[in-house]
Amino acid sequence: MKRYNSLEEVRQDIDTGVVTCRDLVNYYLQNIERKKHLNAYLEVFTEEALQRADEVDQKIAAGTAGRLAGMVIGIKDVLAYKDHSLQSSSKILEGFKSLYTATAVQRLLDEDVIIIGRQNCDEFAMGASNETSAYGPALNEIDNSLVPGGSSGGSAVAVQADLCLASIGSDTGGSVRQPAAFCDVVGFKPTYSRISRYGLIAYASSFDQIGTLTRSIEDAALLLEVMAGADEFDSTASQRPVAPYSQQLQTDKKFRIGYIRDTLESEGLDPEIRETMLGVIDRLKAEEHTVEAVDFPYLDFIVPSYYILTTAEASSNLSRYDGVKYGYRSPDATDLGSMYKKTRTQGFGHEVKKRIMLGTFVLSADYYDAYYTKAQRVRRLIKEKTEELLREYDFLILPTTPTTAFPLGGNDAEPLAIYLADIFTVQASLAGVPAISVPVGYDAKGLPIGLQVLTRSFEEAQLFAFSKVVNEKIILA
C-alpha cells in the first residue's frame, strides 16, 4: 500500500474504491508489528480498531460518515479514553483504566476517527527525549541510536514511521513541536485554551495544550477544527467560535515576518540549522514577504522561568497520586504515611521526582516570592513583549530546536542540558500563543530540521495558511 500524507489523499482512494478503512487499519497494524523495536506504542487496539474500521466503512457506503472517516490515529498516553488504560508512561498509574473520554478525543470519535493505539511518551510528559518513560524510550526511525524528541516522542515516531496517519499529543513547553522537528513531521500547538483540557492528564495546567503531529498542514487544520471550542467540562476553554481552518488555507498575502536576532546568533545553535534558517529568510524575501530582525531582551530568562512555573504546577498536580484511589500502591507500607511515601517513591521515576522536589521548593513559604511569584512576573514581561512583536509582525519565525536529534543517553550527565533543548519552544508556551513546527530541511547527516512559526492568539487560520506557503514555496527540494 502507498504511504498517505493526508486524509484528503486517503478519501480520494476510499471514494474510488482503491482502499477501505479495514485495509488501512491492517496496513498500519502490519507496520506497527514490523517496527515494534521503535517502541512507539504502549498498547495497540488491534481488534477494536478493525471492528471500528468496518463500522466506518459501512457509514461511508451509506453516506453518513463523519469528517474524519478514513483517518487512523494514535493518542499519546496522557489522553483519557473510556475503558482504556491510561498511564502517562508511569508506573504509578499501573492498571488504571479511564472512566471517561477526554473532550478532544470524544470529538474526534464523533467524526469517525479510528484510534489504533496508545503512544509512548516521557513520564507525565516531563522530558524532551522520551527517555523518562517507565516503558523505555521510543526510537527515532531515521537512526535508532537517536532520540525522537519528547515528550510526545512515540506520537512523532508513529507518524514518521507510518504507524498511523496522525497522532494527538500534548505540548507544555514544546512537547509536540520539538519531537516533530526531530522526526520530520508537522507539530502544532494551538493557542492556550483553544482546546478543552478535560481528560488530559495535568502536568502544568497554565501551559498544557493538546496538539497534533501530522504529515500535512491540512490534517493539522482539520483536527484543530474538530477538537477546538467551548466545553462545559473545562471552564478555562475559550468560548470564541471555531474557524473552519481547513477551508482557509489559501493565501496570496505578503506577510510581515520577524525573527529574533539572538536566536540565530546563540552559541548553542547548530551551524547547519542556522544556515537553514538564513536560507528560509532569503527565500521568504524573494517571495516578497518582509522579513526583519527583531530584538527580544528576555531570551535568557525564558527557560528558567518556564521551569520554575511548570515544576510548581507539577508538584501540585501530581500530589493526587497517593496510592489511595487508583494506580499503584506499594506493598511495603506499614501505616498511612509510609503508604504515601513508598507508593510515590516507587511509582515515580527520577525526573518526575526531581521536578516535584523543585516545585515543592519554589512553592515553599520562604521562597515563594523569590521564585514562583518572580517567575510569574517574568512570564508577564515575556508574554507582553511577544504580543508587542506580534502586533508589528504577522509571524515570528525561529528554529524549533537548537540541534537536530541527539543520541540516546547523550544528556544523562548534565541535568540542565536537556532543559535547554526547549529553549526555542517555551516562548510560545509562556505567552500562550499558537505555534507550529514545519519540516524545512536536513543537515549533512540527513537529520530533519524544523522551522517554528508563532502568531497572535486565536489566529491559527493565518498560521496554517502561512505554513502552507512555507511548505510549497520556501522549502528547497
Partner 1 sequence: MNIDIQTIRKLAHLARLEFDETKEQEMLQDLNKILDWMDKLRELDTSAVEPLTHMSEEVNVLREDVAFNAISHEEGLRNAPKKDSDYFRVPKVLD
Q: How far is the CB of 75 from partner 1 (least distance, A)?
A: 19
Q: How far is the CB of 95 from partner 1 (least distance, A)?
A: 7
Residue 207 in contact with partner 1, rule: CB under 8 A: yes
Q: Count Cβ atoms within 10 A of the Cβ of residue 380 and give its class: 0-12 exposed, 13-18 middle, 19 or more buried.
A: exposed
The only residue of 376, 442, 443, 471 in contact with partner 1, by rule CB under 8 A: 376
DSSP string, 376-421: HHHHHHHHHHHHHHHHH-SEEEEES-SSSPPBTTTTSS-HHHHHGG
Q: What region, left, alpha or beta, does residue 113 occupy, with left being phi > 0 and alpha being psi -120 to 50 degrees? A: beta
d(CA 453, CA 188): 10
Residue 232 in contact with partner 1, rule: CB under 8 A: yes
Cβ atoms within 10 Å, residue 185: 28
The only residue of 18, 54, 58, 99 in contact with partner 1, by rule CB under 8 A: 99
Grid cell, residue 476, equals 528547497
Q: Are 41 and 152 in contact (CB under 8 A)?
A: no
Q: Please tell me which residue in 151, 193, 196, 216 is annotated as part of the active site.
A: 151
The only residue of 34, 253, 377, 445 in contact with partner 1, by rule CB under 8 A: 377
Find, among 307, 247, 68, the residue nearest to 166 by Cα.
68
Q: How far is the CB of 83 from partner 1 (least distance, A)?
A: 10
Residue 375 in contact with partner 1, rule: CB under 8 A: yes
Tell me whether residue 167 is one of the annotated catalytic residues: no
Q: How far is the CB of 385 from partner 1 (least distance, A)?
A: 11
Q: How far is the CB of 340 from partner 1 (least distance, A)?
A: 4
Residue 333 in contact with partner 1, rule: CB under 8 A: yes
The only residue of 237, 257, 436, 461 in contact with partner 1, by rule CB under 8 A: 237
The only residue of 22, 251, 287, 361 in contact with partner 1, by rule CB under 8 A: 361
Grid cell, residue 324, equals 489511595
The only residue of 59, 353, 385, 468 in contact with partner 1, by rule CB under 8 A: 353
Specify the residue, 148 or 323, whose C-beta has the smaller distance to partner 1.
323
Site for partner 1 in 418-447 (CB under 8 A): 419, 432
The one-letter amino acid code at 58 reads Q
Specify the residue, 315 or 403, whose C-beta has the smaller distance to partner 1.
315
Residue 247 in contact with partner 1, rule: CB under 8 A: no
Residue 329 in contact with partner 1, rule: CB under 8 A: yes
Q: Are 256 and 290 in contact (CB under 8 A)?
A: yes
Identify the three-state secondary structure at position 454: strand
Residue 267 in contact with partner 1, rule: CB under 8 A: no
d(CA 476, CA 400): 18
Q: How far is the CB of 315 from partner 1 (least distance, A)?
A: 6
- Secondary structure tally for the chain: helices H, strands E: 16, 11
Residue 18 in contact with partner 1, rule: CB under 8 A: no
> Which residues are identified as catalytic?
76, 151, 175
